Amino acid sequence: MSDSNMVVQKTLHRSASRGGANFGWLQSRHTFSFGGYFNPERVHFGALRVLNDDLVAPGSGFPTHPHDNMEIITIPLEGALEHKDTTGTDGVIRTGDVQIMSAGTGIAHSEYNHSDDDPVKFLQIWVLPAKRDIEPRYEQKTFVIEDRKNRFQTIVSPDPAGDALWINQQAYFSLAELDKGQELHYEMKNPANGVYFFLIEGSATVGEETLGYRDGLGVEGLASVPIKATSPAQILAMEVPMA
């Protein structure tokens, strides 16, 4: 249903329409403008600024580089990713893990494929912060994948006391893995927010749109969004402030 005081708006991004880069060791697809890809109509969706779909070759990775005043979320999809940063963190994240880094006043980090034999695939997502110049911080967590079976599992939220990773923004990230034919609704945490759905795997009808592999759909003005999997599907919902 829609809020009577709000106009429903939808933003559809097909997988094939994304920007991209291929550096040999890195293959990346960009839902929003990033690096050498710029589309004035695809700079951001509210506070959601970057949604990169990355593949890094065995033994390769990103050398140490800086960030500031950005919330950076990394979700491994296949393989393992080594991470080091100037907070003193030195570790590995794997499928089932989620990582968040508040760049705040400034942080530098590196990311390398943990394997010398297999590629690593992951999503890296940037969200504009609610408060600027906070102390840099790092956190990662392993989530029980079974807890997102045919329902949404919240993996990022602004509640520091909750089970999800804390984010410096009024944003909520949730993952669901649906069986074919399964139906559920995404219920907005804040009706003033928008939500961007990304089909990691499979296909599903979201609202009135049929989405396939790596398609994205932004929705504003709905308190509840109906979803039906038309094949086994993995869906990421990113609810963010629009102003």
Question: Could you report the per-residue pLDDT of 113-163, keeping only the tens digit for each?
Answer: 999 999 999 999 999 999 999 999 999 999 999 999 999 999 999 999 889
Q: What is the DSSP string of 161-181?
A: TSSSEE-SSS-EEEEEEE-TT
- 3-state secondary structure (DSSP) of residue 147: helix
The pLDDT of residue 2 is 44
What pTM, to 2 d.p., does this model score? Answer: 0.96
What is the mean predicted confidence (pLDDT) over 15-42?
97
Position 4 pLDDT exceeds 60: no
Buried b (16+ CB within 10 A) or exposed e, 1-38: eeeeeeeeeeeebebeebbeeeeeeebbbbbbbbeebe
Position 3 pLDDT exceeds 60: no
The pLDDT of residue 218 is 98
What is the mean predicted confidence (pLDDT) over 165-189?
98
How open is the CA angle 239-94-26, to the nearest 5 degrees?
Answer: 85
Q: Are strands 165-166 and 153-157 parallel, antiparallel or unpaired?
A: parallel
Which option is the CATH number for 9-240: 1.10.3720.10, 3.40.30.10, 2.60.120.10, 3.10.110.10?
2.60.120.10
Position 78 pLDDT exceeds 90: yes
Q: What is the mean pLDDT of the chain?
A: 96
Give the residue extent of every domain in the chain.
9-240
- 3-state secondary structure (DSSP) of residue 146: helix
How many Cα atoms within 13 Å fall on the side-chain side of residue 130? Answer: 10
CA 39 vs. chain centroid, Å, equals 20
- 3-state secondary structure (DSSP) of residue 93: strand
